[in-house]
Amino acid sequence: MRAVVQRVDGASVVVTDGSGTETVGEIIGEGLCVLVGVTHDDTPQKAAQLARKLWSLRILTDEKSCSDVNAPLLVISQFTLYGDARKGRRPTWNAAAPGPVAEPLVDEVVAQLRSLGAQVETGSFGADMRVSLTNQGPFTVLIEM
């Protein structure tokens, strides 16, 4: 699993479909916006490990974690984190797990975070999403499990 974690001062995700747009996830104030990518050999154990790391990662103001200050997280599935653009002009997505594998593992990250006590908002798996955020710092880290 791979996650791009951004410390934010508010973030939201909007889904657009034939009937209009809908905000499906939003956090207000300081928290984390987390883009999660899944590869073929990821497991529920890795999802739980990632959730624990996100909940305790000390990157908020004054080196606090979400667990310290009960800060919210916005978790969004992002298969393009496993894109490979080393050759040619088009990335390949061979390392990204297919939807039937990836979706339950992203859901497991969310479920594990909630079981730890986190307030978690989400995107909509496989949807056409627009993510808006204010990166605070800016502060962005990459986590690999």
- Say which of 78, 92, 119, 134 is annotated catalytic: 78
Query: Would you state the pLDDT for residue 16?
Result: 87
Whether the link from the prior residue into 138 is cis, omega within 30° of 0, is: yes
User: Which of the following is catalytic: 80, 119, 139, 140?
Assistant: 80
Candidates 52, 21, 40; CA nearest to 105 is: 40
Q: Is 79 a catalytic residue?
A: yes
Cβ atoms of residues 96 and 37 within 8 Å: yes
- Total length of the chain: 145
Tell me if residue 136 is catalytic: no
**Alpha-helical segments (H) within 9-69:** 44-56, 66-69
Q: Please report the pLDDT score of residue 71 as a whole number.
A: 98
78 is catalytic: yes
Tens of pLDDT along 23-58? 999 999 999 999 999 999 999 999 999 999 999 999
What's the mean per-residue pLDDT of the chain? Answer: 96
Tokens of 118: 């986190």
Is the confidence at residue 20, as pLDDT, over 90? Answer: no
User: What H or E segment, with its residue span, contains residue 112?
Assistant: helix 99-115
